[in-house]
Structure 1
Amino acid sequence: MKEDQTMSATDTRKTLSAVKDLRTPGHAWAHQCEICGEGAPFGCTDRHAGLHWFCSQHREEGERRIRNG
């Protein structure tokens, strides 16, 4: 790299921050809670092997809904 093309630590942080902003839709979870839309780390399957996702706040309610059909 030529001397005039080097990146400072500040430039690198700005670049990494911009990349992160493009990849995350407000949170870093791959799935959203079916009740509130927040990040959902807990998944459970229904009788037809369909996967449903819930956040920690709605985990019990979601599992109860799935069990009761």
Structure 2
Amino acid sequence: MQLARSKADELGLPCEDFWLFDARVVALLRFDGATRCPASTSSPTLWRCFGTREAAWHHSVPYDELGG
């Protein structure tokens, strides 16, 4: 499944990449010349990432349906 960046922008989803681990830790992927992955257990950060993931998944489509 994937979500076109244009659709993510339309939905107001952030342009950040992250990984959720065990619903307790989120690693925020930062690509600023030196890739960094600061981990957070902050509830507001976790909830923001959960919301982003759920919205992205809800609006995503199978790869072959996205088109090019």
TM over 0.5: no
Which structure has the bigger radius of gyration? Answer: 1
Structure number having the greater strand percentage: 2
Relative contact order, CA 8 A, sep 6+: which one is greater?
A: 2
TM-score by length of 2: 0.26
